[in-house]
Structure 1
Amino acid sequence: MDDHDDQPTPDPTMTRIVDAVQLGRSGQQVRARDTLTALWDEIGADGDPFHRCTLAHYLADLQDTAEAELSWDERALAAVSELTDERARQYHHSLQVQGFLPSLHLNLADVQRRLGNTTVAREHLAMAQRFAGQLPDDPYGEVIRAGIRGLTEALESPRE
């Protein structure tokens, strides 16, 4: 095998997703949501699972209601079940599907808690904790581990 096999495959769809996410992070949430929603429609429900997982994951954060957020978080988790490490590594050589699971389950646990579904929230939190060992030892991994700790505390503390 030559070194070329280690290079990521150019992915114009991921470029468009990343550009839209940057819009949202710059304060243009509505424009980002509209762009990502149009891209979701373009990709389709049976499109590339890497694209669907990434899109749904980011679209969840741009929703106006917890119910809509839950719907997108569920789509992200459903898409990851169809995703392979091989496909993820086409985008970046270090990606592993199991490394996505802590964040996806953490998001579901959080939105379920906010919706008052504490039993389901605890189930997703347990899954996030179970897969946390797959997280890299880097700032991203620490953000997710901190989120798991914070949500654990929130679920252990009764609402006032």
Structure 2
Amino acid sequence: MTAQSTQQSLDKDNPVIALCSQGMRAEAEGRPAEAKALFEQAWERAGDDYEACVAAHYLARHQSTIADELHWNQVCLARADAVGDERVAAFYPSLHACIARCHRALGDAEQAATHFRHAADRLGALPSGGYADWLRYAVAEGLRDTGAVVHNSGEQRVADLLDLLCEQRDLRSLAVLLPAFCGHTGTSQDRRRLAEAAHRLHAERRLPAEAEDILRAALTALS
């Protein structure tokens, strides 16, 4: 979860949520100690699993060690599971991503990959938009970094093409390919999305010969 995504769906009339909102404001104004104290108050006053889930999320962000951050994210996950309804559905993608990043920082690539995959599986719960795109890119990067997603030959050719397009500063072509490539979480739907982006670029028939050759090779491998 991020402050923006969580804040949009919270009940501001709830006193525990109000404390979290005050904490978010303190964060934004550069008062981390005050923010942490407010989140601790929210945790202490939480009267059900939902309130505890939200408070634990914010407490996780104010821990001095990765191990403590992981602990509070795991508490948040357990409370979200206990809630088990639509109020927490959109929490899961970023929550699993936070847990994955902690495991990765602690050197546990296997657990990191597992939680990045859980995050990817829950991305559909998010409304489309900039936040969903941002989180998808972060999760896809985590899957690649932990070896949970490995490029096939077609995807590697697309990566080669992207390198060349960067050298050529072809921003328009990069804009066509990068969203599908950076958001590739290893699903068949994402592979299809990448192939469709490559086909759109090929249909323009405006790339220099070297880039066009790589694109054709990518399309052959992706088909």
Q: TM-score, normalised by structure 2?
A: 0.57
**Identical aligned residues as a percent:** 28
Offset of residue 84 of structure 1: 4.2
Q: Deviations over 1:96-153 (max 9, x none)?
A: 4322111110000000000111111111111001111111102322232122123223
Tell me, which stretches of 5 or more residues in structure 1 are unaligned?
1-7, 86-94
The CA RMSD measured in Å over matched residues stands at: 2.0
Contact 1:24 1:62 in 2 (8 A): no
How many residues align structurally? 138
Q: Distance in 2 between matches of 1:125 and 1:139?
A: 19
Is it true that 1:27 corresponds to 2:18 in the alignment? Answer: no
Residues 11-160 of structure 1 mapped to structure 2, 5 A cutoff: 11-43=14-46, 47-85=47-85, 96-156=87-147
Report which of the two structures shows the higher radius of gyration computed on alpha carbons.
2
Q: Write out per-residue CA displacement over residues 12-38 of structure 1, whole angstroms, 9 at most, x where no aligned residue.
A: 221111111221232211221122113
CA distance in structure 2 between the partners assigned to 1:147 and 1:26 by the alignment = 26
Q: Separation in 2 of the partners of 1:121 and 1:136?
A: 25
Secondary structure of 1:82's counterpart equals helix
Amino acid at match of 1:120: Q
- Which segments of 5 or more consecutive residues in structure 2 lack a partner in the other structure? 1-10, 148-223
Of structures 1 and 2, the one with the larger relative CO (CA 8 A, separation 6+) is: 1
Runs of 4+ off more than 4 Å: none
**TM-superposed deviation, 1:74:** 0.4
